[in-house]
Amino acid sequence: MECAAPAGARRIHVIGIFCQYAGSGQEAPGTMGATLHGMQGENLVFRQDLVLGQHYRDAEGDPILQINGDGSSLETVGQVEIEGKELQVDALTIDVPAGLTFDTIRIRDLGSPASFTIFDIFFDAPVPHGCPFHRAGGGIPLSEVAVALRMGDRVKFQRAFDQLKAALGKSSNLDEARGQLLTFFALVTSASLEAGGGREMHWRLLDLARELERKGKASELVELAQTYIFEVAAPMLGEAAGPSAYLIDRALAYVERNFARNLTDAIVAEELGLSTSHFRFLFRQATGQPFHKYLIGLRLEKARRLLVEQKITVSQAARSVGFSGLAHFSRAFQQRFEISPSTARRS
């Protein structure tokens, strides 16, 4: 299929069923089922191959939210019933590399068993930065809270915490709000324990549960959240962000969507319009670690989720997150998690 693209498009959203007939026994993980081309006239300027397990999956599965690290993501946005089967409708979002322009999008099926049904394609332009803790296109999922703490990612953690406070402040059901706060704090204490925190983390969780029962206003819950959460989280985070927080926010969002690519601090600095040396200073100030260490840590966190949740092979996980060598990946994984990748996959 083919459709016109607006001038200056920086992101492509493809909505549809991705895919029927892509389940176990029909296609192997890693199968390339289709390809998307950005064309300027008859010249190919941009290509994204669609791979099973990354850009599409069996539509009869559960809802999904998956960031692939190659500038793309896959998220369930609805369901549809076809011939008595409930199928997931997903949004495949693809970032366009900076500096590329195209006027047409072409999607071509490569002949695998997978059947793509496309409902709509739309585009957007870069979103200008606003509030440094606002994430355009959706919030931070709870599954990323512990990862943000292990990464020392103060910016992402602050955004997640702001989401929590907003939810607490707007809640009309105090029991639900208490549950939200307790769940969030449990993730924080769990991350602290993994980082070597003491047994008192269990007591702090119990203390908060008791305090919550004595509070009868949403504003009081917000105050409790501020007191308890940052007391535990602060030692795991870098220095507080300053006036340049929005720049680091943009940098971390860019890295989140492109971590599997050949990414360097110079590339991200150029994306922000900063010198490499200034970006290195700001990044280390915000996260407490140099860019390369942060990137490796993020790749390993993503790899562990792939191994545990999708049970793909160790070599597939290494390639998917951007490691070129299996031996390097295995050593780095063992150092970070104190177990081998194959053990994590079996767990």
pLDDT of residue 319: 93
pLDDT of residue 79: 87
pLDDT of residue 241: 52
pLDDT of residue 104: 92
* Range of weakest confidence among 56-65, 88-97, 224-233, 314-323: 224-233
Distance CA 270, CA 261 (A): 16
Q: Provide φ and ψ at 35, rounded to 5°.
A: -140, 145
What would the DSSP string read from start to end of 205-267?
HHHHHHHHHT--SHHHHHHHHHHHHHHHHGGGS-SPP-TTHHHHHHHHHHHHHHTTS---HHH
Per-residue pLDDT tens over the stretch 55-110? 999 999 899 889 998 999 999 988 888 888 899 999 999 998 878 889 899 999 99
| Pairing mode, strands 115-124 and 43-51 | unpaired
Report residue 56 CA to chain centroid gap.
Answer: 16
> Residue 305 class from Cβ within 10 Å (0-12 exposed, 13-18 middle, 19+ buried)?
middle
CA angle (77, 248, 265) in 5-degree steps: 100
Q: Is the peptide bond prior to 19 cis by the omega test (within 30 degrees of 0)?
A: yes
* CATH 3.30.930.10 is right for the domain spanning 245-346: no
CA angle (93, 89, 139) in 5-degree steps: 50
For the residues 165-171, what does the mean pLDDT come to?
A: 81
For the residues 265-269, what does the mean pLDDT come to?
A: 93
DSSP 322: T
| Number of neighbouring beta carbons within 10 Å of residue 332 | 19
Of 243 and 96, which is predicted with more confidence? 96
pLDDT of residue 110: 92
pLDDT(135) > 80: no
| Closest among 79, 320, 312 to 341, alpha carbons compared | 312
- With a pLDDT cut of 90, the percent of the chain lying above it is 35
Per-residue pLDDT tens over the stretch 142-152? 777 888 888 87
Distance CA 79, CA 88 (A): 5
pLDDT(208) > 70: yes
Structural domain spans, the chain: 2-124, 142-236, 245-346
Contact predicate 48/72, CB 8 Å: yes
pLDDT of residue 240: 54
* Range of weakest confidence among 47-51, 130-134, 272-276: 130-134
pLDDT of residue 171: 78
| Closest among 146, 137, 172, 173 to 65, alpha carbons compared | 137
CA angle (116, 114, 106) in 5-degree steps: 40
Contact predicate 12/121, CB 8 Å: yes
Q: What is the pTM of this model?
A: 0.63
pLDDT of residue 242: 57
